[in-house]
Amino acid sequence: MKKLTIRLTVNAESKEWSIAPGDLLLDVLRREGYFGVKRGCEKGECGACTVLVDGKPIDSCLMFAAQADGREVLTIEGLAHGGALDPLQEAFLDHGAVQCGYCTPGMILNAKALLEKNPNPSEREVRETLTGNFCRCTGYVKPVEAVLAAAKAYRRAR
Partner 1 sequence: MSTHVVGQNLRKVDGVKLVTGGAAFTDDIHLPGLLYGKILPSPHAHARIVRIDASRARALAGVHAVLTYKDVPRVPHTTAGQAWPEPSPYDTYLLDSKVRFVGDRVAAVAAETRAIAEKALGLIEVEYDVLPAVLDMEQAMAAGAPVIHDEPDSTGIHDRQRNIAGYILREIGNVEEGFRACDLVIEREFRTGRQQHCPLEPHISIAWLDADARLAIRTSTQVPYHARRQCAMILQIPVSRIHVVKPRIGGGFGGKQEMLLEDIAGALALATGRPVKIEYTREEEFYMARTRHPQILRMKMGAKRDGTIVASQLTVLATTGAYGSHSTTVQGNTGSKVLPMYRAGHMRFECHVVYTNTPVAGAFRGYGCPQGFFAQESVVDELAHELKMDPLEFRRRNAIRLGDIDRLSAQLGEGREGLPRVIRSCGLYQCLDRGAAAIGWAGKRQARPRRGRLKRGVGVACTMQGSGIAGIDWASAFLKMNEDGSFYLQAGASDVGGGADTVLAQIAAETLGVTLDKIVITSGDTDITPFDVGAYASSTTIISGGAVRKAAEKVRAQVLEVAARMLDAAPESLTGCANAVSAPGGKSVTMTDIAMQAMYKDKLQIMDGASHYNTDSPPPFSVTFAEVEVDTETGQVRVVHLVSAVDPGTAINPMQAEGQVEGAVAQGLGYALTEELLLDELGRPRNASFLDYKMFTAKDMPKVTTILAETDEPLGPYGAKSISEVPINGPAPAIANAIYHAVGIRIRKLPIRPEDVLRALRGAGC
Direct distance between the N- and C-terminal alpha carbons of the chain, in angstroms, rounded to an integer: 48
Residues that bind partner 1 (CB under 8 A): 30, 33-43, 45-46, 48, 75-77, 79-80, 85, 89, 92-105, 108, 126-131, 133-144
Min CB(141)–partner 1 separation in Å: 4
Min CB(96)–partner 1 separation in Å: 4
Min CB(129)–partner 1 separation in Å: 8
Instruction: Sort 57 into a burial class: Cβ within 10 Å, 0-12 / 13-18 / 19+.
Output: buried
Min CB(84)–partner 1 separation in Å: 11
CA angle 121/95/151 to nearest 5° reads 25
Beta strands in 11-127 (DSSP E): 13-19, 50-53, 56-59, 72-74
**Nearer residue to partner 1 within complex by CB, 22 or 70:** 22
**Nearer residue to partner 1 within complex by CB, 70 or 125:** 125
DSSP category for residue 42: S
**Nearer residue to partner 1 within complex by CB, 3 or 70:** 3
